[in-house]
Amino acid sequence: MQLYHHPFSMDSQKVRLALEERGIDYTSFHVNPITGKNMDSLFFRMNTSAKLPVLQNGAHIIYDTVEIIQYIEQIAIVSSGGGEISSGEVVAWIKKIQEWNPKYFTLSHIPDKHRHFVSKFTRRVAIARMAEYPDLASAYHCKLRKEYETQDNLRNPEVLRRSGEYLVSLLDEVETKLGETPFLVGQEFSMADVFLVPVLARLELLNLQDEYIHSRPNIAKYWEMVQQRPSYNKVVGKYFNGWRRYKTLFKTWYCLRVRSMLRRY
Ligand SMILES: N[C@@H](CCC(=O)N[C@@H](CS)C(=O)NCC(=O)O)C(=O)O
């Protein structure tokens, strides 16, 4: 089984947490969307949305995060001969969390000058690939249009307001629930937690933990606890804990700067 993913991608983190928690082996391929690797022709031909993650098992390819997780659960049940599929409550939490699109919230917390630089680089990559692979030109063109759309939406205060409000109401609901049970659904770490942990990790990466995590005591306690899990360390901690975040971010930033200077798109 091959997983195309990247540590920066929250949906990739969810899938990797599920694979680690269920102890399923897979071959990992890093595809960095910030350096435009998701537009490399081999990957793009398989997945013209260029979005991550993608799970491939032989001829079976899945592009949707929730569907990938359901597939992982089925594999875990078949290979262990036991276990069970997620309950209705877990599925409801997954849906609620997945309804929050972190894109605009994240981008709006990145300084304009860095954001514009990355956006320009992404557009240049799409244009370069268009010329290189004429048979994929319309798909690359679509990707280019989406990038302009993203930048337009970021100038719309209504889009940002809605995203922020949804996040706050989601966290308030999570805070109430965690006052009743140690994990989002009951006594055990479930797939609902797999979807929640990357949201908290994103808030910490953006240095927003005081406003969103520490101000909610139940979430703060939960956050401390889930960070002790080996799956967290492998998927998130290894790249973003303490000084590691600077190494991870610097590597991507350096690669972007050099390629941009040399005009290697
Ligand atoms: N269809 C995917 C979308 C996942 C998605 O939005 N992925 C983001 C990262 S979390 C991505 O790949 N962005 C890069 C891009 O849009 O170029 C799903 O629902 O699982």
Give residue-wise pLDDT tens across range 1-59.
999 999 999 999 999 999 999 999 999 999 999 999 999 999 999 999 999 999 999 99
Ligand 1 centre to CA of 179 (Å) is: 32
ipTM surpasses 0.90: yes
Give the tens place of pLDDT for each residue, 77-86: 998 876 678 8
pTM of the complete model: 0.97
Going through the chain in order, the beta strands assigned E by DSSP cover: 2-5, 27-30, 54-57, 60-62
Q: Pick from 11, 16, 46 the residue to mutate for probing ligand 1's pocket: most ligand atoms within 8 Å of its CB.
A: 11
Ligand 1 centre to CA of 53 (Å) is: 7
Q: Is 60 helix (H, G, I), strand (E, B) or coil?
A: strand
Distance between CA 245 and CA 265 in Å, rounded?
A: 25
Ligand 1 centre to CA of 180 (Å) is: 33
Ligand 1 centre to CA of 163 (Å) is: 16
The mean pLDDT values, 10 residues at a time, for the chain of 265 residues are 98 98 96 98 97 97 98 92 83 98 97 97 98 98 98 97 98 98 97 98 98 98 98 98 96 96 95
Is residue 4 a contact partner of residue 57, using CB atoms and an 8 Å limit? no
- Residue 82's pLDDT is 66
Q: Pick from 51, 68, 194, 199 the residue to mutate for probing ligand 1's pocket: most ligand atoms within 8 Å of its CB.
A: 51
Tell me 186's DSSP state. B
Is residue 93 a contact partner of residue 192, using CB atoms and an 8 Å limit? yes
The rounded mean pLDDT for the chain is 97
Q: Is the dihedral of CA 202, 62, 42, 142 positive or negative?
A: negative
